[in-house]
Structures are given as structure tokens and as C-alpha cells.
């Protein structure tokens, strides 16, 4: 499913792009690098909202990620753009609200690229809950969920796109 860049492009999407999607971005990027696939799979993140454009990920996200060996360095909040639907092969929403926003924004021919990120996890949860108003446990839960979904996504891409 590679596009004109020759890479498989993955975009993680939440509301503000400062908690969930940057965490998913960092976790998946590390899994891809550890698998030796960084030349083939690229990952970015964005938000459906414009609240935090240009900001670093939430400090609590950065701290929780660092404890597990992930770096959110260099990630800055950006807003999802219409052109992203043609550029990315996988546009992965962290929850139903962002999924619905993405479908409403995307030209119909790209709807097949938009999925809930948790579809790739062996977990009953279909959403990565927003930890913004929670304590540290909320950020740990986000990492638990995105680690599981990232492993499932990488497995899916290897099976569907890389052979």
C-alpha cells in the first residue's frame, strides 16, 4: 500500500495533538525503528482541533513516555489538513469523536484509510481515553493501550503491505 513516496505513511490523530497522538507517534516510531523498518514506514501525528498548534506534547505525556524509553522530542502539535488524507495510508483516530471528525473532513475516496487505532489491539477498548484532565494513571493507561495497538498495527502492516 505504499504511495508515491515509496513509504507507508501512518498518521496518529487525537483532538489537540498533545497527549494521545504524540504518545502513539513515539511508541509506533520506536517499534518501527526496532524492527529495522524506518526506511519503509513513516509516522506522524496531528489533531483535529487547532487548540495547541506548535506546542510540545503535554509534560505529563513526555514524562510517562520517558519512563518507558520513548522520546517525544521534536514532536509539535499540528492540525489535520485535508491533504493529509491523500498523503497518509493509515489515518488512525484515538476515539470515536475524532474518527467522526475525520470522516466528515475527508473526501469520500479516502474514507477507507481512516480507522480507530484500537482496532489493531487485542483489547476490548475501542478508544484511547483522553488523559488531559486525569492524573498520572491516565497517561500510563494511554501508553498501555498505544503499546498494544502499535504492536498490532506493525504486525498488520507486515502482513498486508510488506510482502
**Predicted local confidence at residue 161, as pLDDT:** 87
Check 14, 58, 62, 84 and give the catalytic one: 14
Annotation says 20 is catalytic: yes
Q: Which of 84, 89, 95, 130 is catalytic?
A: 130
- Which phi-psi region, left, alpha or beta, contains residue 17 (left: φ > 0; alpha: ψ -120 to 50)? left
Is 139 a member of any domain? yes
Q: Which long-range contacts (CB under 8 A, 24 or more apart) does 119-123 make?
A: 119/149, 120/92, 120/149, 120/150, 120/152, 120/153, 120/155, 120/156, 121/145, 121/148, 121/149, 121/152, 122/148, 122/152, 123/148, 123/149
Phi/psi at 155 (5° precision): -60, -45
User: Given this model, what pLDDT does residue 157 score?
Assistant: 97
The string of pLDDT tens digits covering residues 17-59 is: 999 999 999 999 999 999 999 999 999 999 999 999 999 999 9
**Terminal Cα distance for the chain, rounded:** 10
- Which positions of the chain have pLDDT values less than 70? 1-5, 163
Q: How long is the chain?
A: 163
Q: What pLDDT score was predicted for residue 11?
A: 98
53 domain residue, yes or no: yes
Query: What's the domain count of the chain?
Result: 1
61 occurs within a structural domain: yes
73 annotated active-site: no
Q: Catalytic pick from 19, 20, 60, 84? A: 20
- Give the pLDDT score at 5: 61
Instruction: Output the pLDDT for position 24.
Output: 98
Domain that holds residue 83: 8-161
In a domain, 30, yes or no: yes
Residue 1, in any domain of the structure: no
**76 part of the active site:** no
Whether 19 contacts 139, CB under 8 Å: yes
CATH of the domain at 138: 3.40.50.2300
Amino acid at each position: 500500500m505504499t504511495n508515491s513516496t515509496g513509504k507507508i505513511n501512518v498518521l496518529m490523530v487525537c483532538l489537540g495533538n498533545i497527549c494521545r497522538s504524540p504518545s502513539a507517534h513515539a511508541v509506533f516510531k520506536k517499534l518501527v525503528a526496532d524492527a529495522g523498518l524506518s526506511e519503509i514506514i513513516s509516522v506522524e501525528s496531528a489533531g483535529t482541533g487547532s487548540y495547541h498548534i506548535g506546542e510540545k506534547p503535554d509534560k505529563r505525556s513526555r514524562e510517562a513516555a520517558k519512563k518507558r524509553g520513548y522520546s517525544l522530542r521534536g514532536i509539535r502539535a499540528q492540525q489535520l489538513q485535508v491533504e493529509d488524507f491523500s498523503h497518509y495510508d493509515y489515518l488512525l483516530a484515538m476515539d470515536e469523536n475524532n474518527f467522526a471528525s475525520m470522516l466528515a473532513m475527508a473526501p469520500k475516496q479516502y474514507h477507507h484509510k481512516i480507522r480507530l487505532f484500537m482496532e489493531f489491539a487485542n483489547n476490548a477498548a475501542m478508544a484511547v481515553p483522553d488523559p488531559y484532565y486525569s492524573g498520572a494513571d491516565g497517561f500510563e493507561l494511554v501508553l498501555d493501550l498505544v503499546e498494544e495497538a502499535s504492536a498490532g498495527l506493525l504486525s498488520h502492516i507486515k502482513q498486508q503491505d510488506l510482502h
